[in-house]
Amino acid sequence: MKPLSDCRVLIVDDAKANLDILVEGLKSDHKLSLATNGTMALQIAARMPPDLVLLDIMMPDLDGYEVCRRLRAMPETAEVPIMFLSSLEEVQNKTRGFEAGANDYLTKPFEMLEVKARVRSLLKAKAYSDAVKEQMAGELRVARDIQMGMLPHDFTPFERAFGVELGAILEPAREVGGDLYGVCIAAGGRLVLFLGDVSGKGIPASMFMVRAISLARLLAREIAEPERILARLNDELAMDNPSVMFVTFLCAVFDPASNRLSLANGGHCRPVLLRAGHPPAWAVTGLGTALGFEPNLEFQRTELTLNAGDTVVFYTD
């Protein structure tokens, strides 16, 4: 956690006497930045984001309320604690300050001991919050590495074994997410490809994604038909799903002996077939039903015979 002595306090007041009092009282405890008007305060905050802002209200160019609103709109200071120090003591003035985004409000004339106590309290809260966020960010980075590590990246063994070319890219919208894909060898020496998109984003979606991809790999080793893989996967996901999440899922099985590609769709975006001399076409006609809602669903199979040079594009939204 950041030491309080390393925390920077931005003091904004157009009265030199007030600045002098605050500087004298705080200089031995914290790093300080000074501004004599609202415009200067915003410039300093953008250049050197503070850990706390002590803000006067009655100033000549921009008043404190407007400065507070603008600080809250700036990414660098959106979560920096702000304390008003003002001679305006009416309830409506204090209410307006909190509505503008302030964390605290102290009326002038003030006791320096009280100012220092409130400053320490706000800085401790921010330091703790920053530490927790950094810890969570670190854990999410590890979770992202684990999640990305579950996805295949080297397709060379599959390409050599089945005479196909494979390529994939995945960019989660957040550190972790619910998009998934996989490639594995199925029963009967066939190649299984699957692609899915879990409802929602973030950690819940990533956890459901891990469950779906793990089950799909296990099922593909035993079952060679894509519609049966989807049916079994749906039963497993729907059996214990207290969060009522779901996943759209597309499964394809390639038989190298016949160049037949069998597909079954569980509510996912339809793949596109690109064939020389022909316009792009949907590889499957129906969308099907997403997995996880209810058990005992049936899925349709579509079969294609692939020619040399054909490309099938699988994607999520």
Asked if residue 127 has pLDDT above 80, the reply is yes
pLDDT band at residue 150 under the 50/70/90 scheme:
confident
Give residue 148's pLDDT: 75
Asked if residue 174 has pLDDT above 70, the reply is no
β-pair partners for 88: none
Asked if residue 173 has pLDDT above 80, the reply is no
CA distances from residue 89 to 36, 55, 251 in whole angstroms, order as listed: 22, 15, 67
Query: Span 138-144, mean pLDDT?
Result: 80
- Could you give the CA distance from residue 245 to residue 207 in angstroms, rounded to a whole number? 11
Query: Span 253-264, mean pLDDT?
Result: 94
Give residue 176's pLDDT: 67
Asked if 299 and 264 touch (Cβ cutoff 8 Å), the reply is: yes
Q: Please provide the distance, in angstroms rounded to a whole number, between the alpha carbons at the two ends of the chain.
A: 40
The pLDDT mean for the chain works out to 91
List the domains of the chain with CATH numbers.
4-142 (3.40.50.2300), 150-313 (3.60.40.10)
Q: What are φ and ψ of residue 169, in 5° steps?
A: -145, 140
Bridge pairing between strands 281-282 and 272-274: antiparallel
- Could you give the CA distance from residue 64 to residue 16 in angstroms, rounded to a whole number? 16
Q: Specify the range with the lowest mean pLDDT, choosing from 12-16, 83-87, 112-116, 282-286.
A: 282-286
β-pair partners for 106: 85
Asked if residue 126 has pLDDT above 90, the reply is yes
Q: Specify the range with the lowest mean pLDDT, choosing from 63-67, 145-149, 289-293.
A: 145-149
| Higher pLDDT among residues 30 and 211, named by residue | 30
Identify each DSSP E strand in the chain by its residue range. Answer: 8-12, 31-35, 52-55, 82-86, 104-107, 179-186, 190-198, 247-255, 260-266, 272-274, 281-282, 301-305, 311-313
Asked if 41 and 32 touch (Cβ cutoff 8 Å), the reply is: no
What is the distance of C-alpha 53 from the center of its chain?
A: 29
Give residue 79's pLDDT: 95
- Helix axis angle for 226-239 and 202-222, nearest 10°, is 130
Asked if residue 175 has pLDDT above 70, the reply is no
Asked if residue 40 has pLDDT above 80, the reply is yes
pLDDT band at residue 108 under the 50/70/90 scheme:
very high
Asked if 84 and 52 touch (Cβ cutoff 8 Å), the reply is: no
Reference 196, options 177, 179, 182; nearest CA is 179
Q: pTM (2 decimals)?
A: 0.67
Asked if residue 113 has pLDDT above 90, the reply is yes
Give residue 151's pLDDT: 82
pLDDT band at residue 98 under the 50/70/90 scheme:
very high
* Total residue count of the chain as it appears in this document: 317
Q: Is 55 left (phi over 0), alpha (psi -120 to 50) or beta?
A: beta
pLDDT digits (tens, 9 = 90+) for 213-231: 899 989 988 888 999 999 9
Asked if residue 172 has pLDDT above 80, the reply is no
Reference 123, options 81, 158, 153; nearest CA is 81
**Other CB atoms within 10 Å distance of the CB of residue 51:** 22
